[in-house]
Structure formats: structure tokens, C-alpha cells
């Protein structure tokens, strides 16, 4: 059994466990009917392009801040892999990646404190 086949089987088990029977679209028409029922706005072409760049690894994954239109500095997929690699071996994370991790933790803590204050 290939890894790809195994992944598909696992995805099917999870989907069956989480999605009620009446809400499992199996055809394109079913998917479109469900999307129409949910409603909402279509993402803009620039948002779709940005999402695709992130999936391809051409743009770092981060949060786009609405007022400032700036991306919070985040780890690239390669850097995330390096963090996992070094942690799994029990080795020290390179200083430049550790600095990014620390900055992300500080920002997350500050956001949590701001939410708690509200």
C-alpha cells in the first residue's frame, strides 16, 4: 500500500467521522449547491493569487493585517521543516530561526493580553 493510498483512506475515515451523512457532497453539483446554501462572498482574485503563492511556498505564511496591509513575519515552510528537524534530533535551533520564533511568541502573547484586557 502506498503512502498516498494510505493518506486517502485516513482522510476518508476522518471525513466520515466528522461530516454528517446528509452533508457529504459527492458530485460537483452537490458541492456547488452546498456552497450556494452557505453563501458568503467570493474571494478576490488577489486573495486567491496570494493563497496560491503561499501554497507554492513563494510567499511566507502569515496573517495579513487589514489596516496596514502588511504580513506578520512568519516562518517559511522550509524554516518550519528545519525547526521540526532540529527539535526531533534534540539539537539547538539556528539563531536566526530562533529569533523569528521568539518574535512570533512575543507577538502572540501581546495579542492574548490585549484580548484579555477587552
Domain locations in the chain as residue ranges: 3-38, 75-118
3 state SS for the chain: CCHHHHHHHHHHHHHHHHCCHHHCCCCHHHHHHHHHHHCCCCCCHHHHHHHHHHHHCCCCCCCECCCCCCECCCCCHHHHHHHHHHHHHCCCCCHHHHHHHHHHHHHHHHHHHHHHHC
Per-residue model confidence as pLDDT tens digits over 6-64: 788 888 888 888 888 777 778 889 888 888 888 878 888 998 898 888 888 787 776 65
Q: Residues in the chain, how many? A: 118
| Predicted confidence (pLDDT) per residue in 67-115, tens digit | 444 444 567 777 777 777 877 888 888 888 888 888 877 887 787 777 7
Amino acid at each position: 500500500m502506498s503512502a498516498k493510498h494510505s493518506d486517502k483512506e485516513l482522510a476518508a475515515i476522518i471525513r466520515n467521522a466528522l461530516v454528517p451523512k446528509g452533508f457529504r457532497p459527492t458530485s460537483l453539483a452537490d458541492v456547488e449547491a452546498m456552497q450556494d446554501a452557505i453563501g458568503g462572498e467570493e474571494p478576490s482574485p488577489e486573495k486567491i493569487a496570494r493563497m496560491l503563492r503561499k501554497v507554492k511556498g513563494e510567499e511566507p505564511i502569515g496573517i495579513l493585517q487589514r489596516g496596514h496591509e502588511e504580513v506578520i513575519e512568519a516562518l517559511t515552510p522550509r524554516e518550519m521543516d528545519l525547526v521540526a528537524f532540529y527539535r526531533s534530533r534534540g539539537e539547538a535551533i539556528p539563531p536566526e530561526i530562533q529569533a523569528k520564533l521568539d518574535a512570533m511568541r512575543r507577538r502572540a502573547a501581546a495579542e492574548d493580553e490585549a484580548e484579555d484586557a477587552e
